[in-house]
Amino acid sequence: MPVFVRGFPIGVWLHELSEICGKAEHLLFRYPIRVIYANEAFSRDTEDEAAVVSSHHFARFTCLGSTSRGWDGDRVAKVLTNPHLTNLRMLDLFNGDYNFSEGVAGVAAATHLTNLLVLELAGNRILDEGIEALAGAKHLSSLRALRLGKDSSGGANGITEEGIAALARSQCFSSLTQLALDGNEVGNGGIEHLLRAEWISNLTEFNLEDTWIGESGLMALARSGRLTNLRRLDVSANGMTEAVARTFLQPESFPNLTHLHLISHHELEEPLTEATQAALCSRFGPEVIGESGLTWIAICVEDEIRWKMR
């Protein structure tokens, strides 16, 4: 199934990634295919595996993505050993709950992925072990979007404060502008770690929905003075209170924030006052209170068309 951009097929969906190896000469000669999504990586046939991990045609691809529930972590790691994947700009493993930490360990070991801009790992169950592996991956310094949140069924990654501390200590994310942690157990302690990260002030988009943050953590977030470049923020399904909401309204809190999702309808036992709600909506727009969270701003063309591939 091809996806067209300006009349040309730029992306294709396959049952197995190995299928592209046999069709590459024909397809890539005729069409500017750069984006590949597949249900499976390869069959149990050793020839298929060998073709995937060595094909020089993979140098043409700028995005690889898995559909269904992932390729499983070991196969993700094997695919990424292909040394010709140097032009990959996006790796989309969304909803890959079969991948576990083995898949992200493969990303961390693939030192040739030096041009990666978007790493989508929502719902991969990577746990703290996986985030610790990523935190030491120096070749990911080009990364602009790291998505570690929930997938379409609400499954996340099982990251706790320990994993968040490793992420915050990392010096490998100097280009990061977009971070999703929704659904993980960040907590108040995790927020304190994140606010000490060298790269945190570069973020323009931050998703902290349903991350076990209480009033003190949200207060620390609003008062930190380190999120001056933030444009879009989701902190819904956490310990929001009237005092926190009013702190978010202070001019020095998030001076460049334009989109905020603070709470969902009926989320609080003690609703915010009408005056506070009106002030929040006036500053941040009507979506500040509601069921719909924020949608990501696409980082690259591969990110723009990913929804068509699923």
pLDDT given for residue 37 in this prediction: 95
Answer whether residue 261 is part of any domain: yes
Do the strands 8-16 and 35-40 form a parallel or antiparallel pair, or are they unpaired?
A: parallel
The model's pLDDT over 237-296, given as tens digits with 9 standing for 90+, comes to 999 999 999 999 998 889 999 999 999 876 777 889 999 999 999 999 888 998 888 889
Between CA 253 and CA 139 the distance in angstroms is 33
Closest CA to 52 of 40, 35, 63, 62: 40
- Judged against a pLDDT cut of 60, whether residue 4 lies above it is answered with no
Answer whether residue 67 is part of any domain: no
Task: Give one DSSP letter per residue of 180-228, joined into a string.
Answer: E-TTS--HHHHHHHHHT-TTGGG-SEEE-TTS---HHHHHHHHH-S--T
Amino acid, res. 21: C
Asked whether 127 and 163 are in contact (CB, 8 A), the reply is yes
Asked whether 99 and 108 are in contact (CB, 8 A), the reply is no
Confidence of residue 24 (pLDDT cuts 50, 70, 90): confident
The proportion of the chain whose per-residue pLDDT surpasses 90, expressed as a percent, equals: 78
pLDDT given for residue 5 in this prediction: 57
- Averaged pLDDT score across all residues of the chain: 93
| Rg from Cα positions in the chain | 20
The proportion of the chain whose per-residue pLDDT surpasses 70, expressed as a percent, equals: 96
Asked whether 17 and 75 are in contact (CB, 8 A), the reply is no
Between CA 121 and CA 107 the distance in angstroms is 11
Answer whether residue 17 is part of any domain: no
Say how many domains are in the chain.
1
**What values do phi and psi take at 57, rounded to 5?**
-65, -20
- Judged against a pLDDT cut of 90, whether residue 300 lies above it is answered with yes
- Judged against a pLDDT cut of 80, whether residue 199 lies above it is answered with yes
SS3 253: coil
pLDDT given for residue 83 in this prediction: 98
pLDDT given for residue 303 in this prediction: 96
Answer whether residue 4 is part of any domain: no
Answer whether residue 33 is part of any domain: no
Q: What is the mean pLDDT of residues 65-84?
A: 95
- Judged against a pLDDT cut of 70, whether residue 153 lies above it is answered with yes
Return the minimum-mean-pLDDT range out of 77-81, 215-219, 256-260, 262-266.
262-266
Confidence of residue 215 (pLDDT cuts 50, 70, 90): very high
Between CA 238 and CA 234 the distance in angstroms is 10
Answer whether residue 78 is part of any domain: no
Closest CA to 91 of 74, 68, 75, 115: 115
- Judged against a pLDDT cut of 70, whether residue 198 lies above it is answered with yes
Between CA 9 and CA 31 the distance in angstroms is 6
Closest CA to 190 of 164, 212, 216: 164
Return the minimum-mean-pLDDT range out of 11-15, 64-68, 153-157, 290-294.
290-294
**What values do phi and psi take at 19, rounded to 5?**
-60, -35
State the CATH number of the domain containing residue 195: 3.80.10.10
SS3 263: strand
Between CA 99 and CA 72 the distance in angstroms is 4
Answer whether residue 40 is part of any domain: no
Confidence of residue 68 (pLDDT cuts 50, 70, 90): confident
The model's pLDDT over 177-194, given as tens digits with 9 standing for 90+, comes to 999 999 999 999 999 999
Q: What is the residue range of 222's domain?
A: 93-309
Answer whether residue 15 is part of any domain: no
Task: Give one DSSP letter per residue of 288-304, joined into a string.
Answer: GBSS--PPPPPSSHHHH
- Judged against a pLDDT cut of 90, whether residue 298 lies above it is answered with yes
- Judged against a pLDDT cut of 70, whether residue 117 lies above it is answered with yes
Q: Higher-confidence residue: 2 or 252?
A: 252
